[in-house]
Structure 1
């Protein structure tokens, strides 16, 4: 057994111990954020384990697996962050975030400018205006 293999075994043992602690946090974690961080850390440990295997065997598939796992973990982290942000916006109440944002305009008032609107400059809303009518 070479010195490189001994170092790899020691690092693998440290990773196994860290994975056990992360799995404990994932099960016991009091909040969803604790569990999300634990899943992220478990993914990092898995990627590091694949890196150790790739370093030992020289397998080329490890790079693709590591990149795809990190991409999936990134998307999952964004999804959890968005979910938690919506829950905080609502204050933990059921419903949608759109219901909680009061506006003074209707559904199409912000899109369609009417003649009574201050931004209306005399063009016929049904027909639009041309450059010749504007004097340009």
Structure 2
């Protein structure tokens, strides 16, 4: 089981590095917003792997709070970009 956890942690680390590169290089604000949303999802995956590895159930409320923050952040960025472009929603 520890090999699976190590592979999952490595894959999440690689995904985080690629997402960080897109977050820094992203040519538009929308690319950066999507990269930030993906980074929140990767962080949630990392917390899930950590919860499985340690057997601690106390990580799960953190996952719930992080998912709510990610959702509200995505919606607010989308609303901001729509109003910035001059379209009415």
TM (norm. structure 2) is 0.94
Cα distance in structure 1, aligned partners of 2:58 and 2:22 = 30
One of 44, 51, 54 as aligned partner of 2:51: 54
Larger Rg: 1
Distance of 2:15 and 2:45 partners within structure 1: 12
Match of 2:13 among 13, 16, 27: 16
Alignment of 1:89-100 (within 5 A): 89=86
1:79 matched to 2:76? The reply is yes
Structure-2 separation of matches of 1:56 and 1:36:
30
Shift of residue 66, structure 1, vs aligned partner: 0.4
Deviations 1:1-33 (A, max 9, x none): xxx110110111011011000000000000111
**CA-atom RMSD, angstroms?**
1.1
Describe the SS at the equivalent of 2:85.
Answer: helix
Unaligned runs of 5+ in 1: 91-96, 98-136
Deviation at 1:67, TM superposition (A): 0.4
* Larger relative helix fraction: 2
* TM-score for the superposition, normalised by structure 1: 0.62
User: Cα deviation per residue 1:90-116 (whole Å; 9 max; x = unaligned)?
Assistant: 6xxxxxx7xxxxxxxxxxxxxxxxxxx
Cα displacement (A) at 1:45: 0.4
Give structure 1 regions of 4+ aligned residues with deviation exceeding 4 angstroms: none
Number of equivalenced pairs: 88
